């Protein structure tokens, strides 16, 4: 019986401590969520030539998703500039073709494409870039990156 009483007393003290500090803490539902993830706005595919010497052997395709923190404010900016973004990204990728089509080239291209996206949309709009590489163009869909919360940048 002493163990049960000790456990009940400890549980009661813990409950009092939680309620006493409740104003200093987020609600349990908020705390469980953790940090807010950026939302992805899907632009579509861009192609990158894979060359051998001066000949194009094939193309690699990247589905492009731009990460934004505030969809309500930033989706209109991104979607209004989607054609400028596509042009800038294609000019870059076709000006910097892949020699092998490997992961190292993809990583360097991703970093450059993020900087281009920030220049076109404004530095505070795009907070990240997500690419999915494939040998063929991929259909536009909200689950291309494996999440149904992604947003398509559709025409008006």
Q: What is the pLDDT of residues 46-64, one digit of tens each?
A: 999 999 888 999 998 988 9
DSSP string, 17-57: HHHHTGGGS--HHHHHH-SPPPEEEEEEEEEEEEEETTEEE
CATH number of the domain at 69, please: 3.30.479
Number of structural domains in the chain? 2
Compute the average pLDDT of residues 61-83: 91
Same domain for 25 and 67?
no
Residue-level pLDDT at 32: 45
Instruction: Write out the two tokens for 71.
Output: 């969809």
> What does the pLDDT read at residue 100?
81
Q: Whole domain around residue 44: which residue ranges? A: 39-152
Report which secondary-structure segment, H or E, holds 80.
helix 71-80
């Amino acid at each position: 019986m002493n163990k049960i009483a000790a456990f009940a007393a400890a549980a009661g003290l813990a409950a009092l401590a939680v309620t006493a500090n409740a104003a200093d803490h987020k609600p349990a539902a908020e705390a469980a969520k953790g940090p807010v993830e950026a939302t992805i706005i899907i632009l579509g595919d861009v192609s990158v030539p894979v060359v051998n010497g001066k000949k194009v052997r094939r193309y690699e395709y990247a589905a492009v998703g731009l990460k934004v923190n505030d969809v309500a404010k930033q989706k209109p900016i991104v979607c209004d500039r989607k054609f400028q973004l596509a042009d800038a990204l294609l000019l870059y990728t076709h000006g910097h073709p892949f020699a092998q089509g490997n992961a190292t080239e993809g990583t360097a291209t991703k970093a450059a494409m993020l900087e281009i996206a920030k220049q076109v949309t404004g530095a505070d709009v795009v907070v990240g870039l997500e690419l999915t590489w494939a040998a063929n163009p991929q259909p536009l869909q909200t689950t291309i990156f494996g999440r149904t919360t992604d947003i398509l940048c559709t025409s008006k």
